[in-house]
Amino acid sequence: MMIKLSVFFLLIALGCAHRPDIKKIPPVSERREPTIAMEEPALITHRVRKGETLYKISKAYNVSVKEITALNKLKDPSLIKEGQDIYIPRSRNISDLKLPEGRFAWPLEGKVVSFFKDDTPKGPNKGIDIQALGPAIVVASRGGQVCYAGEDIKGYGKIVMIDHNDGYYSLYAYNKDILVTKGAAIKKGEKIALLDEAKPVLHFEIRKENRPLDPLQFLK
């Protein structure tokens, strides 16, 4: 029986994880089940879609229009527009929240055409798909080290994966050309790939360890 591996696990196997020194592995009797503390960002970033109102957005996230208005310092809640980023509080105490410093930046100037967990031919989307509205140039969302650069995964085109050295990874797929090599140190905003100008769509993922997260929660 053929076992289907996820893109992430296959890329890990191809070099995106540090292999442990077998001499340092403790005996079975001394091992403990690993626990991963999943970080939940205090804010969700919501990009306004066509036809959405602040009231509709507030109902979707179960928060009040007043809370969203106060957090985003909106003078007129009725004037939000398509493509605008709106911060949604997870906490009810607005005074305790600060706007994020932007740990991850947008890897491409464009619009989201497929959202996290949307149905796709490959199953639920584990990231987002961004259609370029400007130059089809992909940049690193955050600094780190390239742990994979290649095209071993059928259906994803050429892929770049960056290890951010704190348990977070970012993945960039559907590229036409790769501008970096495995092992390279990358700065935030550095050019890493080019899309096909005939179909300039980037598949972008953010993961904590092996868990896919909604990139819109982290993008500034």
Write phi, then psi, for 59 (nearest 5 degrees): -70, -35
Could you tell me which residue, 170 or 217, shows the higher pLDDT? 170
Which pLDDT tens digit goes with each residue over 40-53? Answer: 456 778 888 888 88
DSSP readout, 53-121? Answer: -HHHHHHHHT--HHHHHHHHT-S-GGG--TT-EEEEESSS-GGG------SB--SSSEEEEE-TT-EET
What pLDDT does 19 receive? 44
- Give strand pairing partners of 149: 160
Instruction: Give the DSSP letter of residue 9.
Output: H
What pLDDT does 169 receive? 93
What pLDDT does 165 receive? 87
Whole-number average pLDDT of the chain: 79
Report the candidate in 184, 187, 178 with the shortest Cα–Cα distance to residue 152.
178
Determine the distance from the C-alpha atom of residue 136 to the mean position of all C-alpha atoms in its chain, rounded to a whole number.
Answer: 18
Dist. CA 123–CA 132, nearest whole Å: 23
Whether residue 193 contacts residue 138, with contact meaning beta carbons closer than 8 Å, is answered with yes
Ordered structural domains, the chain, with CATH:
43-96 (3.10.350.10), 110-217 (2.70.70.10)
| pTM of the predicted structure, to 2 decimals | 0.61
